[in-house]
Structure 1
Amino acid sequence: MARQFQFRTENGVETVQIAVRGRQVLARPMLNFGPAYTLEQRRALGLQGLLPPAVNSMNEQLKRVYRQFDRQPDDLSKYVYLNQLQDLNEILYYRLVAEHLDEMLPIIYTPTVGEAIERFSSTFDRARGIYLAIDNPQDIDEALASHGAGPDDIDLLVVTDSEGILGIGDQGVGGIRIAVGKLAVYTTAAGIHPLRAVPIVLDVGTDNLALLNDPAYLGARHARVRGERYDEFIATFVAAVKRHFPKALLHWEDFGANNAHRILDTYREEHVSFNDDIQGTAAVVAAAAIAAVRAKGERMSDQRVVIHGAGTAGIGIADLMRDVMVQEGMTEEEAARLFWGLGSRGLLHTSGPMRPFQERYARPSDELSSWTVAESGRYALADVVRNVQPTILIGTSAQSGSFTEAIVRDMAAGCERPIIMPLSNPTAKAEAVPADLLAWTDGQALIATGSPFGPVEYAGTTFDIAQANNALVFPGIGLGVVACRATKVSDRMIAAASRAVAEMTSAKRLGASVLPTMRQLRAVSAAVAVRVVEAAEAEGLATVTLDNPIQDIQDLMWQPVYPTVEVVTEIAEPSARPTDP
């Protein structure tokens, strides 16, 4: 099929060639500039009479759509409004989000996207992304081809099987919205061109009985498929991706704990892969820890770390923090002994049950014989904190209020400036709230949370609360990988991302945040990308050499502005890194 339009950038100027006319222009979100089209462009594109007569600048359009956004009665309504704007005028949508990032990031991403996912089938209006069903694996190649992109046209795929969506679990086909939300952040924060990225849902069924019994549910109406058939489906999908989009970064999102580590370990050497729940979460938490430890004048290898919720995210955090300790001169074995992980049955230890990926952090059972515990043979969080006296306490448990006053005071008694991170989302599942943590530690806690919290006043000091939001790291990691066409996302590249984020803030002042704010997101993403490229080149994983990484990264970041319009009758062969449908 002949190309209908094509974006390309030469000498820093973006141009769009348009070969369609009339309503076909306005029907494409990346071409629908609305009343921003000049009268001359309207005549050339056959738009006479299809738009109001006034010509509006983008700034005039922005004022109008922001007023419309602001009039929405609640966050879900705002999410729906932004979705509709994205489906109408995609460039204006990204510009609006970029101009109001603090306000809109929680709408297009966590936490509001969680509610939107739960209501996917009842609020569905337009299909966005690719839907692949385990019941029809033979259709995967055709589905990827139907997207219309060639092997050099796609930089990024965000794929989910929807089993571990945020803090709300199995959401079936509705998980496509987490992939769409992630890509919106990639574009807003790191300038990944919206036409060079694709959201994908792998519909393998759902164990969510509410969905299975909902007449409006749009996904496969059967229990979640597991085991050999599931693995074969994943293998078939990866093989198809390698054929159709061999250079694209494959971002795995919100897979269940039993599959996330296994899939990443299986395919990260086969196709450039990244799991945000494992590596992205680890990177931003490690960044917060590095900044907090630096504020205390200490090193990571001086810490004792308790992780309450040692699942996919928790073990990923431990792995990266362990790697940072190794870079400071420890062996892996020495570093692993500084971690205590708790699963659903309490402390991980060699005499208890655990998953394979947790085994490297299991404590020797004989080590526990001298512990004082509330219940013989059971090692709960309060017991661990009392006996270990940790300097860092991390929560990825989704157990609201589990960081109790007694536990936090126990920790503070053995640590002058405790580092405490209640990371579970949404806010209702947070292990503690910052105001309580500051009160229980006499204002000495260094805090990072998973959900956004406003500043807290305590004893005459204003404490800015860091949000350990993966958006601080994953867009820059993706941009760096794309920029240098890395063949792998290595542990060293992830650690480099953590250090880049940590270096963009200073927590030495009492009350200062241990992480940058969302207002700095684009600058943070660029800094992360530069460090990721440097690490990839040092390991021999980069296939494209950047002569001037800072400038090259900056040039690669797409800006949400209307491009120069070139009206053509047909589209010529694409140039380097085009963006064409």
Structure 2
Amino acid sequence: MGIPVGKLSLYTALGGVRPSACLPITIDVGTNNEQLLNDEFYIGLRQRRATGEEYHELMEEFMDAVKQIYGEKVLIQFEDFANHNAFDLLAKYSKSHLVFNDDIQGTASVVLAGLLSSLKVVGGTLAEHTYLFLVLQAGTGIAELIALEISKQTNAPIEECRKKVFLVDSKGLIVSSRKNSLQPFKTSWAHEREPVTTLLDAIKSIRPTVLIGTSGVGRAFTKEVIEAMASFNERPVIFSLSNPTSHSECTAEEAYKWTKGRAVFASGSPFDPVEYDGKIHVPGQANNAYIFPGFGLGVVISGAIRVHEDMLLAASETLAAQATKENFDKGSIFPPFTNIRKISALIAASVAAKAYELVGDSPAAAERSGEICGELHVHPCLPQLSLMQWRSILQ
């Protein structure tokens, strides 16, 4: 229960959302933990965990009830659902409810912001870089948002943009020859290449400019892996996003030391500043709290009844724009977290403005929405405000 309470506390503290407009909910579907089932002080349901049809019937009843009681404009945030359930629930209810999954969409948005910000250090456009992921399922959400932003910037089909992004899983590089054995969420990333079985071999074959870890495997970015990235990139971009710290693919110190201080580094876990060759590097943390309070506020104040991926892109672009040369000189690609109230207001303004913009272009918006997001509508009684007007109100 501490998780939804904590998240909603951040909505208030960082985004200015009234506590009376927030309702924390934990859905108890039982447990398979024998110790808990036999504990006389366990306050949860004393039954085996519901799965399959029983689980989905409960979720459907819950989602319908929330919409019936609070209306179409209530924002339902999924948090800490198991990956296989999280993706299924988001895909299903994004077409009929106002839903947001912070683990999938919030993470993707803040990582994309970090990449957009890092371009000011390494140069080039998003489309001119090549991305290699060491993934679990959640990493595909980040990969998709990167491809969507490239598509938006270049007007190229999303299928072409996905070819800039490569994934490595526990069996090696995801390639077309593996398609028959891949889980459905991986098939979009199965490119025509020769199969390789290790991350190091994939780096040598693809020569990516950006390496992103969402694997949950601690120290998966070995010395050889990071040195390989540094061997053909003047400023290799390395995002070690798994948390807690023990699961991080590499530490900030390792990234800076093994690249001789040249890495553009960000992490999912917090790391202390690192001194290398007389310079202090302050690693940036890709913290979802940069995104979700402002994003949720923008969605609610706009009166939207669906989340559209372009709203996530707007949030990423706004966050990236807040990073300054002063941040870059210290080694961080994210702005100081002390500015979070201002950042949240700017993100909310951008998201709300994007919602209104999409309403004026709803057929195209619906076409771009794909399987994740549905057609977006805004309440007709709300004022049609410009981005400048929203910023003025929020600030």
What TM-score comes out, normalization by structure 1 length? 0.61
Contact 1:207 1:223 in 2 (8 A): yes
Q: Are the equivalent residues in 2 in contact too, given 1:487–1:542 (CA < 8 A)?
A: yes
The structure with the greater share of residues assigned to helix is 2
State the alpha-carbon separation in 2 of the partners of residues 177 and 354 from structure 1.
36
Q: Per-residue displacement from partner, 1:99-136 (whole Å, max 9, x unpaired)?
A: xxxxxxxxxxxxxxxxxxxxxxxxxxxxxxxxxxxxxx
Q: Does 1:256 align with 2:82?
A: yes
Q: 2 CA distance for matches of 1:205 and 1:307? A: 34
Structure 2 residue aligned with 1:188? 13
Pick which of 465-474 and 240-249 moved more: 240-249
1:304 deviates by: 1.1
- 1:32 matched to which residue of 2? none
SS of 1:308's equivalent in the other structure is strand
Offset from partner CA, 1:511-540 (integer Å, 9 cap, x none): 331011221111111111011011101001
Partners of 1:386 and 1:222 in 2: how far apart?
50
Q: Aligned in 2, Cα 1:284/1:208: closer, same or farther, shift over 3 Å? A: farther
Once the two structures are overlaid, the 10-residue window that deviates more, 199-208 or 399-408, is 199-208
Q: Which amino acid aligns with 1:452?
A: P
Alpha-carbon distance in 2 for matches of 1:386, 1:211 = 48
Alignment check: 8 A CA contact 1:395 1:421 kept: yes
Question: Partners of 2:136 and 2:325 in 1: how far apart?
Answer: 27
Query: In the TM superposition, what is the alpha-carbon distance from 1:209 to its structure 2 partner?
Result: 4.3
Partners of 2:315 and 2:74 in 1: CA distance: 20
Match among 507, 519, 542 for residue 378 of structure 2: 542
Q: What's the % identity of the aligned pairs?
A: 37
Q: Secondary structure at the match of 2:110?
A: helix
Amino acid aligned to 1:464: V
Alignment of 1:485-524 (within 5 A): 485-506=303-324, 509-524=328-343
What is the identity, as a one-letter code, of the residue corresponding to 2:210? Answer: I
2:393 counterpart of 1:552: yes
Would you say how many aligned residue pairs link Structure 1 and Structure 2? 368
Distance in 2 of aligned mates of 1:232 and 1:546: 39
Tell me the CA shift for residue 551 of structure 1. 2.9
Tell me the equivalent position of 2:249. Answer: 431
Please say if residues 507 and 514 of structure 1, whose CA atoms lie closer than 8 Å, have aligned partners that are also in contact.
no
Q: 1:254-276: per-residue Cα shift (whole Å, max 9, x none)? A: 11111111111111121111111
Q: CA RMSD in A?
A: 1.6
CA separation of 1:361 and 1:208: change in aligned 2, threshold 3 A: farther
Q: Could you report, residue by residue, the CA deviation over 1:283-310 in whole angstroms, capped at 9, with x for unpaired residues? A: 0000001100232221110111111124
CA distance in 2, matches of 1:505, 1:439: 24
The offset of 1:350, in angstroms, is 3.4
Q: Distance in 2 between matches of 1:400 and 1:210?
A: 28
Question: How far apart, CA to CA, are the structure 2 residues paired with 1:384 and 1:451?
Answer: 25
In structure 2, how many angstroms separate the alpha carbons of the residues matched to 1:359 and 1:206?
Answer: 32
Partner SS state of residue 499, structure 1: helix
Deviation by residue 1:75-101 (Cα, 9 ceiling, x = unmatched)? xxxxxxxxxxxxxxxxxxxxxxxxxxx
In the alignment, the residues of structure 1 paired with residue 325 and residue 30 of structure 2 have an alpha-carbon distance, to the nearest angstrom, of: 46
Task: Say if 1:306 and 1:341, in contact at 8 Å, map to a contact too.
Answer: yes
Unaligned runs of 5+ in 1: 1-175, 374-378, 555-581
- Distance in 1 (CA, whole Å) between partners of 2:143 and 2:113 is 13
How far the C-alpha of 1:389 sits from its partner, in A, is 1.3
Q: How does 1:451-462 map to 2 (within 5 A)?
A: 451-462=269-280
For 1:413 and 1:444, locate their aligned partners in 2 and report how far apart those are by CA, in whole Å.
Answer: 11
Are the equivalent residues in 2 in contact too, given 1:394–1:423 (CA < 8 A)?
yes
Residues in 1 aligned to 2:11 and 2:357: alpha-carbon distance in whole angstroms:
25
Q: Which amino acid aligns with 2:7?
A: K
Confirm or deny: 8 A CA contact 1:292 1:507 kept in the other structure. no
Counterpart secondary structure, 1:395: strand
Cα distance change on mapping 1:385 and 1:210 into 2, 3 Å:
farther
Aligned ranges 1:104-503 → 2 under 5 Å: 176-246=1-71, 247-312=73-138, 314-329=139-154, 330-352=156-178, 353-364=181-192, 367-368=193-194, 373=196, 379-503=197-321
1:433 Cα deviation after fit: 0.5
